[in-house]
Amino acid sequence: MEVVRSLAGSSVAALAAVLLLSAGCGGGDEKAAETGVAPAGGAKVFADANCGGCHTLQAADASGTVGPNLDEVRPNVDRVERQVRKGGGSMPAFEDKLSDDQIREVSEFVATSAGSGEGESKKFTFEPDDKKIDDCNGDTQCIQQAFGNLASEDGPKAALTKLDEMQKTDSTIQSNCHPIAHMIGAGGLRHFDGNVGKAFVAGSATCGSGYYHGLLQWKLAGVEEDKAAEVARTACDDPEIKSNNFNYYQCQHGLGHGLMLYTGYELPIALTMCHGLSGEFEQVSCSGGVFMENLSSSFGLKTRWIRKDNLLYPCNIVSRQDKLYCYLLVSSRILPEVGWRWEKAADWCRKSEKDFVDICFQSYGRDASGTATQNPRQAKGYCARAGNGERECIFGAARDIMNNNSQDVRGGQFCSIVKRAHRSYCFFGLGTILGTQNADPAGKREACSKFARGRDLADCIDGATT
Ligand code: HEC
């Protein structure tokens, strides 16, 4: 209870934001185009070292798919250099195979050409071509580019609407929906001449908010390392974005996703950049994006920051200030890995660091509600499998129902069917979310009275005012 009371205090708004994550993230795959021969300089090194056997880079006519698509990642010089020298993942180190000059050349080549097919000046923008969606014949690379083209020409709204329509009937588009939405972000940013604010308000959260993530990803693409923190700090500081809470949250959250892609899944660096943001809400929304990108990569990239042998990782090693938000998502890492065996997931939660066992079970409750698509009986059933974590599961589930839709009467229904011993805490949980949405006492009381009466109402109001 202690942790919960403190949780329900100052950071409630931030928590509410972080909980929105359950609906806000997705994954996907990508493929490549045509091969050819590369010209001189860094491009020659790129060809000779056979980087293209593993990477896609349009400027080098390379279409490898073993490693990340460099046009998509758009790493800066320092990052390419570091990676080429040391290797990592399944990429070999080139330190002993290439001279310092060659390494420098190839790094500059990749950094300046990635994502553009051209030189320095085009670094921040998406390059449209004449590809059309209808002519792509299921080629996912082509489809992404074509959606980017549409967004660049007619604006993101047109492209997102089309994506929404097509994903209902086209399975290729459906399974690539998130990366396509990222590309619409790229095209949308170009449509608005790099103005994130304008591009933001013209977008939508379709396909796990991929568009918002893409906007931030492309805003950061190619930015030099020493300028990245500043770009991050100012990216969402725009009156148009700030005038709408949802957009502002999406922007900071998308920034977290973007920072992970920018740093090449260097989780600690990305988190440090989130810590540099102006306030708690900003920092928390951002680090939520970082953790979510870590759990389900937008591009199927491999992260070093998850482990098969410890499903609580990286929550158990991140700094204290990041633990809360990491543990609030951790069950989404655990459950798929244990085959959705809820009892097993509960065992993992019990292995959490002492102060965070309850938080893990709240995350478990969020997933219980999410998996049950907010069905009270089903969610209750999952919570019953949490053993001694049932109470926190119920709290997490109640909050998820409200978070998903603050008018959903199933919130009250859920709390009315849980074990008597947990009822009060459940209504308290409903209140914690309603409290973030209603500033004044009268509003809080009114919101709670839609779900509860008598003792339950008092508990809900109690939650709304902590
Ligand atoms: C045998 C396949 C292979 C070859 C050859 C290869 N790479 Fe890689 N590369 C990878 C893989 C796999 C990764 C992802 C590593 C990881 O998981 O950390 C990667 C990562 C990278 C990254 C980091 C991308 C990011 O997300 O930050 C860059 C940059 C890169 N490679 C550039 C190159 C360059 C330049 C060359 C040629 C000198 C090259 N690679 C050769 C497989 C390869």
The pocket around ligand 1, CB under 6 angstroms, is made up of 46, 49-51, 53-55, 66-68, 73, 75, 79-80, 83-84, 88-92, 94, 106, 110, 264, 302
Query: How high is the mean pLDDT in each 10-residue block of the chain (466 residues)?
Result: 35 45 35 29 88 88 87 82 90 93 87 55 64 90 92 95 92 86 90 87 83 86 82 89 84 90 86 92 92 76 84 94 92 94 98 96 95 95 98 97 89 97 98 88 94 96 93
C-alpha gyration radius of the chain:
23
Centroid of ligand 1 to alpha carbon of 84 (angstroms): 7
pLDDT of amino acid 256: 92
What does the alpha-carbon distance between residue 386 and residue 357 come to, in Å, rounded to a whole number?
Answer: 12
Phi-psi region of 155 (alpha: psi -120 to 50; beta: other; left: phi over 0): left
Q: Which two tokens stand for residue 460?
A: 């809900």
Task: Please state, as a whole number, how many other Cβ atoms lie within 10 Å of the Cβ of residue 134.
Answer: 7
Q: What amino acid is encoded at 410 in this protein?
A: R
Within 8 A by CB and 6+ apart from 398, the residues are 365, 369, 411, 414, 415, 426, 427, 429, 430
Query: For ligand 1, what atom is nearest to the CA of residue 302?
Result: 17
Identify whether the C-beta of residue 132 lies closer than 8 Å to the C-beta of residue 91. Answer: no
What does the alpha-carbon distance between residue 202 and residue 302 come to, in Å, rounded to a whole number?
Answer: 31
pLDDT of amino acid 95: 93
Mutate which of 50, 83, 112 to test ligand 1's pocket (most atoms within 8 Å of Cβ)? 83
User: Which residue's alpha carbon is at the smallest distance from atom 22 of ligand 1?
Assistant: 83
Task: Please state, as a whole number, how many other Cβ atoms lie within 10 Å of the Cβ of residue 265.
Answer: 22
Within 8 A by CB and 6+ apart from 166, the residues are 133, 173
pLDDT of amino acid 205: 79
pLDDT of amino acid 17: 46
